Structure 1
Amino acid sequence: MGIPRLEYKPKSQNERVAGYESGGDEAPRIYSTDNLLSPGDMGTLIEAAYRQLYFHAFASDREPYLESQLRNGQISVREFIRGLALSDTYKRSFYDLNSNYRFVEQSVQRILGRDVYSEREKIAWSIVVATKGIRGFIDELLGSEEYQENFGDSIVPYQRRRILPGRSIGETPFNLKSPRYDSYHRSKLGFPQIVWQSTVKSYRAPDRQPRTGDPSLFLSMAQSIRPTGNLPQSVSPYNIDIERTVPYRKR
């Protein structure tokens, strides 16, 4: 018999209230197979699913077999999300490089579209990861009542933002406040690093670049030359014949 999941509650009453956004840039865009108007819309939906879980999917991160099944109607969007969450890319990027608590936090953000309510919820889901593994944890997230009510089988999960009174903008995107790697692994990988900084500083517009014969092209060559002249001889004043060496006017 498995360990029952700990009970947790929302951290404030605001979590119990439905959002009342009225459109605009803060309103999340919903991608669903229920309102596909053209074949290209399915590709847009797939890209939205990759962005939600991976933030960015390289060619090696994509799952062509799952994409083909979704395009042919063999699986639902919910099953497509499940396949991405159980893929090697997701495991390698989020589970292998983070603790169970951080893995739970990022998975709740990407699959349920919200932040974890409290540390108690983090602990509760971490127990599920420890006892049932990644597959059991992902299955419980996707099979939860919360996921079914908000996304169902046809909607790609999205960040459920809420604009509260006194706040001009919504919540920070998950990929900005919860990056893929934690601080320990970011330091090991040398993040953050600005690769383009030196290139931008040395950039010169094409019309301002020196042409053939410009003296500035030879500046480095001239600076590399280190001429050595004849050093003055050190002669003692006692060895100088003043009467013979000092010129004088002849009458």
Structure 2
Amino acid sequence: MAIPMLSYSFSTQNQRVDGFEYFPGEEQPKIYTTDNLPTALEMDEIIWAAYRQIFSEHQILSSTREPFLESQLRFNQIRVKDFIKGLLLSDSFYNLNYNVNNNYRFVEMCIQRVLGRDIYNEREKLAFSVIIGSKGLEFFIDILLNSEEYLENFGDNTVPYQRRRVIAQRSKGEIPFNLKIPRMGKEFLVKQGMPQLLWPGPVRKFRPQEQKPKAGDPALFLDMVSEVSPASV
């Protein structure tokens, strides 16, 4: 029997902050869409924006490229939403993000990159985690891409983008999600053989031989003066 999706409230402190659409300025995101019959150069920018949104800039490698999906998008055989889904279900995204995180963290990352916002609360994270565990990854991705929220904000032809500003930690500008939530949690660093920045032994100070004062160095005379007792003067 399928596990029903948990209910959760649509509330978060970040909802108090106006979205980009209500606060125009230098931080207004550029919209990448195929609605206006893009040129070849504009299509390159759309594809690059999709990779940057889904994989984040620190994950864009030659191995993450999907040439077949790119070709389909260029020749109008698939929509931008289909291209986004292909990237989310690719082996590269699976290995770089799903395999190195638990379901809770993976849900948070996907909502940020697909819906362009933070999770509403911990219960939303839990609800989607149950969906992944019971229905699988592709079912979870379909829920996000076919949701009313996604269709209202991005539709079939627009690359998702970060819709909400987070200004609590910086005096100006938004915090990109990839800086706020690194791709890998601490619990997976040991599994991946990442070096631990912990030194178990004692810390010893070492002064190279060439840095020691030599004969005639004024520093030696200062030491001699401090050793002279006022009573002997």
Q: Same fold (TM over 0.5)?
A: yes
- The one-letter code matched in structure 1 to 2:161 is Y
Q: Please give the alpha-carbon distance, in whole angstroms, between the structure 2 residues aligned to 1:67 and 1:92.
A: 20
How many residues were matched structurally? 192
Q: Does 1:83 align with 2:114?
A: no
CA distance in 2, matches of 1:14, 1:130: 28
Q: Distance in 1 between matches of 2:196 and 2:189?
A: 7
Q: 1:172 to 1:162 in 2, by over 3 A?
A: closer
Unaligned runs of 5+ in 2: 198-233
Counterpart of 2:34, as a letter, is T
What percent of counterpart residues are identical?
Answer: 53
Q: TM-score, normalised by structure 1?
A: 0.70
Deviation at 1:179, TM superposition (A): 1.1
Change (3 A) 1:13 1:59: closer
Name 1:21's counterpart in structure 2. Answer: 23
1:13-71 CA-partner distances (Å, limit 9, x unpaired): 762886212121x2111111113542111011101100111113211111000000000
Decide whether aligned partners of structure 1 residues 82 and 16 sit closer, same or farther in structure 2, where only a CA change above 3 A counts.
farther
Q: Deviations over 1:170-229 (max 9, x none)?
A: 431111111111113345443698xxxxxxxxxxxxxxxxxxxxxxxxxxxxxxxxxxxx
1:9 alignment counterpart: 9
| RMSD, matched Cα | 2.5
Residues 1:23 and 1:68: Cα distance change in structure 2 (over 3 Å): same
Q: 2:139 aligns with which of 136, 145, 158?
A: 136
Task: Tell me, yes or no, if the aligned pair for 1:85 and 1:138 is still in contact at 8 Å.
Answer: yes
Amino acid aligned to 1:190: M
1:38 maps to 2:42: no
- Structure 2 letter corresponding to 1:3: I
Q: 1:163 to 1:110 in 2, by over 3 A?
A: closer
Task: Assess if the C-alpha contact under 8 Å between 1:21 and 1:163 holds in 2.
Answer: no
User: Does the Cα contact within 8 Å between 1:94 and 1:181 map onto a contact in 2?
Assistant: yes
Q: Is the alpha carbon distance of 1:66 and 1:96 closer, same or farther for their aligned partners in structure 2, counting shifts above 3 Å?
A: same
- Unaligned regions of 5+ residues in structure 1, if any? 194-251
Please say if residues 112 and 118 of structure 2, whose CA atoms lie closer than 8 Å, have aligned partners that are also in contact.
yes
3-state DSSP of counterpart to 2:70:
helix
